[in-house]
Amino acid sequence: MSTSRTFPKGLVITIIVALVAVSAIVVAFLQNASPYVTVAQAKQIQGDNLHLAGDILKETLKSDMKKGVITFDIRDEKGEVCTVVYKGMPPANMGEATKVVAIGGMKDGRFHSEKMLVKCPSKYEAEAKKV
């Protein structure tokens, strides 16, 4: 006596479509995920979606508003220094910024970025010290 079960075609198609959708979401997530790297790692890793975090060396900050380019040196957590070339509108608080996360990749020995996150000393930190 043989019992064979057949699944309805609609159920099989639904399962296949769900698996394809989940796979597409995972692939999209992995492509957009980008690691935080040090200067040394940025020099070794190919890609243009790396996050390079560090301190801005204020004395190196230069801007060319006609070209929309800002260049500055950044010191990472290991003390290594790299020049960042940022293209785009400068963040409003760039002048007060002490730390930065440049998002981009290495080209010709410089870190080229079109996205940047800046961290400024907060007025709230100063007020907290007074209390």
- The predicted-structure confidence for 37-73, as pLDDT tens digits, reads as follows 999 999 998 888 899 999 999 899 998 888 889 999 9
CATH superfamily of the 36-124 domain: Nucleic acid-binding proteins (2.40.50.140)
Q: Distance between CA atoms of 11 and 59, rounded to whole angstroms?
A: 65
CA separation for the pair 19, 82 (Å, rounded): 43
Q: Give the tens place of pLDDT for each residue, 19-29.
A: 888 888 877 76
Contact between 106 and 42 under an 8 Å Cβ cutoff? The reply is yes
Q: Tell whether pTM > 0.75.
A: no
As given in the structure block, the two tokens for residue 87 are 């293209």
